[in-house]
A = this chain, B = another copy of it.
Amino acid sequence: MDIDALRSRHPDHWMRAAAIRALTLDAVAAANSGHSGMPMGMADIATVLFEKHLKFDPKAPHWPDRDRFILSNGHGSMLLYSLLYLTGYEDMTLQQIKDFRQWGAVTAGHPEHGHVAGIETTTGPLGQGIANATGFAIAEEALRARFGKKVVDHHTYVFAGDGCLMEGVSHEAVALAGMQKLGKLIVFFDNNDITIDGQVSLADITDQTARFAACGWQVQEIDGHDPEAIHTAIVAAKADPRPSMINCKTHIGLGSSAQDTAKAHGALTDPKLISDAKSVYGWTTGPFEVPGDVKHWWESLGQRGAEARADWQSRLDALSDGKRKQFDAAIAGEAPRKLSATIKALKKQVTETAPKQATRKASENVLEVVNPIFPETIGGSADLTGSNNTKTGDLGIFSPDNRTGRYIHYGIREHGMAAAMNGISLHGGLKPYGGTFLVFTDYARPSIRLSALMKQPVIYVMTHDSIGLGEDGPTHQPVEHVSSLRAIPNLQVIRPADGVETAEAWEIALTTPDRPTVLALTRQGIPTVRTDHKTKNLTAQGAYVLAEAEGKRQAILMATGSEVHVALAARDLLQADGIGTRVVSMPSFELFADQDEKYRRRVLPAGSAVRVGIEAGIRHGWDRWLCGERGKEAKAGFIGMDSFGASAPAETLFEKFGITAEAAAQKVRDLL
């Protein structure tokens, strides 16, 4: 690598890019941890992108029509932090750069959405950023179709490395983007031939260019250190109707003694290496010091965006009142005012007709009334549309030929779907929900975790939620999934017991601003248990008394979803024996935990009444409610699963695995 030639050919560009490299070296050295090599390798691409193409305004970082810049190879976080600092994002101060990776700093080891404006999504778990990007690009297309090109017209740019492209989720994202012809999605592949273990060829010989082409992408190959080639490629990418992948040959740790080695992937902290690299760069200022002219140039870049934003604002102001209101409402992300009344009316109707139905069907019934009044919803399924009941009549299919469609055939791509929904939600203006079988939350789990970490109100419509799935057998029967989803912080899991609770669950999911929801829904028909109409959303309390004990309360049966009617039947058996039994419906552990202690005590009073939990899943996590936070509250038992399921009709399975009213009643008797 002839650094001198690069420097002399584009001296101004060189110093501007060197600012990223120098800040990275300094911050990583100060933290004594981090990843130096990627920012050093991709600095040229970032500089050209920000200089000539990226539409951004650091003074209005939430501007809805900004381009999105996504660092999928998030370990190179100092690249992003440097860019935000250099271009003048208010909250990205020099002190934050100096406090890289320290407690309380916004400059976490990997970019964390919400820490500071300009971090469009949380990355670090590889492959997530590029998969989020499909969602960003889908959202842009959908909103452009709805509101017009005058107010929605921006690109999604992604930096991705070998790690991102080896991860399976990248395949799902790349194929989905190719099929959807997301022409405003542009990915820069940091082709540096290096991973943590060494040369990429130790583990991969994939021709990435050919691979993207096979999925319907425009592809280009360039020298990632040639500013003119970078610019030309971006121009060509923008002009092509397909999503674009620019395969950029780069050098990790450029200009340092670790260049082109796996060592450069991690933290370069050796003082001599750093000073040698800086002198190769011609960088003469002290640590964390950027020469005034260089900083000034970077700050001036926002001007282009500020002007574009002013133009955009005047176009927005020129919208009709109605359109403008719709646009503002969409961006605000609030549920329509009619939602509450709509849900109440549906609840009333369900209570009156008291159907025996699957909650997945009840969920479809909710969507049938919600989708027409909530134009921001955008549904989909990972190829289980008819099983997940996620498509309603008024939704067209979102496709290259129909950008106003509000239903996405995500394909057999649970992980890609979840990651795309994160991107749609992060973009703003839409409310994504998507379905698959509950058991396949395992496939999507890394992205579900990120929904929770990023506080995105993505809605997961997870049907076939127990052995009630029946004949498909143990591979398709969730046993541990409700429990293991409850384990994820900031995720609300709701397992409704009937059509009423399903309506309430949807109302919660659609109005929660800051956390994702998993709806666990049955395949099989179950009776309506909420036979008294209550306007209040009882599910929002997480748990509530569904049936009170007659006589002295000796037992409390706690159940969720399809086992609530089992609890009611068990109560009948026990009451017939004179054993006073309360039934608590408990659709959401998380929502119940959010209630104040007084309410929780009211539902689950400490004392001599024994408690039995009933759920067609494992006990793991139930004891908190059975025994109480501080223990000693009650004698307790559980009716559920402690193994994988089996292949047979659902009724047989409930019988064989002992999840019956008789078993629950007997458990109470054993404990008394």
Which A residues are within 8 Å of any B CB, using their own CB? 31, 33-34, 74, 101-105, 108-110, 112, 122-126, 162-163, 166-172, 175-176, 178-179, 195-198, 201-208, 210-211, 213-216, 381, 383-387, 397, 399, 409-413, 415-416, 439-440, 442-443, 445-446, 449-450, 452-453, 470-476, 479-480, 483-484, 486-490, 611, 618-621, 623-624, 626-628, 630-637, 642-644, 646-649, 652-653, 656, 671
A472 engages B627 (CB within 8 Å)? no
Residues of B with C-beta under 8 A to A413:
166-168, 203
In the complex, residue of chain B having the shortest beta-carbon distance to the beta carbon of A201: B179
- For residue A553, give the distance in angstroms from its CB to the closest CB of chain B: 16
B627 engages A636 (CB within 8 Å)? yes
Residues of B with C-beta under 8 A to A213:
210, 214
Question: Contacts A196-B384, A489-B479 hold; do A619 and B626 have CB atoms under 8 A apart?
Answer: no
Residues of B with C-beta under 8 A to A171:
168, 170-171
Question: Contacts A214-B206, A620-B487 hold; do A473 and B412 have CB atoms under 8 A apart?
Answer: no
In the complex, residue of chain B having the shortest beta-carbon distance to the beta carbon of A413: B166
In the complex, residue of chain B having the shortest beta-carbon distance to the beta carbon of A439: B125
Kindly state the separation between the CA atoms of A376 and B440 in the bound complex, as whole angstroms.
33
- For residue A100, give the distance in angstroms from its CB to the closest CB of chain B: 9
Residues of B with C-beta under 8 A to A624:
619-620, 623
A647 engages B108 (CB within 8 Å)? yes
Kindly state the separation between the CA atoms of A534 and B39 in the bound complex, as whole angstroms.
51
Kindly state the separation between the CA atoms of A214 and B205 in the bound complex, as whole angstroms.
9
B489 engages A383 (CB within 8 Å)? no
Kindly state the separation between the CA atoms of A483 and B485 in the bound complex, as whole angstroms.
11
Copies in the complex: 2
29 pairs from A and B in contact (CB 8 Å cutoff): A33-B471, A34-B471, A102-B652, A103-B647, A103-B648, A103-B652, A109-B471, A110-B473, A112-B475, A124-B473, A125-B439, A162-B412, A166-B172, A168-B169, A179-B206, A198-B409, A202-B399, A203-B411, A203-B412, A211-B215, A214-B214, A442-B449, A480-B484, A483-B487, A484-B484, A486-B620, A489-B643, A620-B624, A632-B634
Residues of B with C-beta under 8 A to A206:
175, 178-179, 214-216
Kindly state the separation between the CA atoms of A202 and B31 in the bound complex, as whole angstroms.
48
- Option from B214, B633, B656 in Cβ contact (under 8 Å) with A210: B214
Given contacts A167-B413, A179-B205, A203-B410, 18 further A-B contacts (CB under 8 A): A102-B649, A103-B646, A103-B648, A103-B649, A124-B472, A125-B443, A167-B168, A167-B412, A197-B381, A197-B384, A202-B409, A203-B411, A211-B214, A211-B215, A453-B475, A480-B487, A623-B627, A626-B631
Residues of B with C-beta under 8 A to A443:
125, 167-168, 445-446
Q: Which of A102, A168, A623 has the most CB of B within 10 A?
A: A168
Residues of B with C-beta under 8 A to A620:
483, 486-487, 620-621, 624
Kindly state the separation between the CA atoms of A198 and B646 in the bound complex, as whole angstroms.
29
Question: Contacts A101-B471, A166-B411, A631-B636 hold; do A642 and B385 have CB atoms under 8 A apart?
Answer: no
Kindly state the separation between the CA atoms of A203 and B400 in the bound complex, as whole angstroms.
11
Residues of B with C-beta under 8 A to A204:
175, 179, 411
Question: Contacts A205-B178, A647-B109 hold; do A631 and B635 have CB atoms under 8 A apart?
Answer: yes
B33 engages A470 (CB within 8 Å)? yes
A409 engages B637 (CB within 8 Å)? no
Question: Contacts A103-B646, A646-B103 hold; do A475 and B74 have CB atoms under 8 A apart?
Answer: yes
B167 engages A397 (CB within 8 Å)? no
Residues of B with C-beta under 8 A to A167:
168, 172, 412-413, 443
- For residue A108, give the distance in angstroms from its CB to the closest CB of chain B: 4
A412 engages B126 (CB within 8 Å)? yes
Kindly state the separation between the CA atoms of A475 and B447 in the bound complex, as whole angstroms.
11
Kindly state the separation between the CA atoms of A201 and B400 in the bound complex, as whole angstroms.
12
- For residue A363, give the distance in angstroms from its CB to the closest CB of chain B: 18
Q: Which of A163, A446, A452, A453 has the most CB of B within 10 A?
A: A446
In the complex, residue of chain B having the shortest beta-carbon distance to the beta carbon of A195: B383
Kindly state the separation between the CA atoms of A649 and B195 in the bound complex, as whole angstroms.
24
Residues of B with C-beta under 8 A to A446:
440, 442-443
- For residue A255, give the distance in angstroms from its CB to the closest CB of chain B: 24
Residues of B with C-beta under 8 A to A649:
102-103
A197 engages B409 (CB within 8 Å)? yes
B627 engages A197 (CB within 8 Å)? no
In the complex, residue of chain B having the shortest beta-carbon distance to the beta carbon of A610: B631
A101 engages B168 (CB within 8 Å)? no
A480 engages B488 (CB within 8 Å)? yes
B172 engages A618 (CB within 8 Å)? no
Kindly state the separation between the CA atoms of A472 and B634 in the bound complex, as whole angstroms.
42
B632 engages A472 (CB within 8 Å)? no
Kindly state the separation between the CA atoms of A636 and B213 in the bound complex, as whole angstroms.
59
Kindly state the separation between the CA atoms of A264 and B383 in the bound complex, as whole angstroms.
15
- For residue A537, give the distance in angstroms from its CB to the closest CB of chain B: 25
- Option from B104, B109, B211, B490 in Cβ contact (under 8 Å) with A211: B211
Residues of B with C-beta under 8 A to A476:
109-110, 124-125
Kindly state the separation between the CA atoms of A134 and B636 in the bound complex, as whole angstroms.
47
Residues of B with C-beta under 8 A to A169:
168
- For residue A127, give the distance in angstroms from its CB to the closest CB of chain B: 8
Question: Contacts A473-B112, A646-B103 hold; do A172 and B168 have CB atoms under 8 A apart?
Answer: yes
Kindly state the separation between the CA atoms of A168 and B410 in the bound complex, as whole angstroms.
13
Q: Which of A31, A195, A632, A649 has the most CB of B within 10 A?
A: A632
Kindly state the separation between the CA atoms of A102 and B515 in the bound complex, as whole angstroms.
40
Kindly state the separation between the CA atoms of A561 and B619 in the bound complex, as whole angstroms.
23
Question: Contacts A203-B176, A216-B206 hold; do A103 and B656 have CB atoms under 8 A apart?
Answer: yes
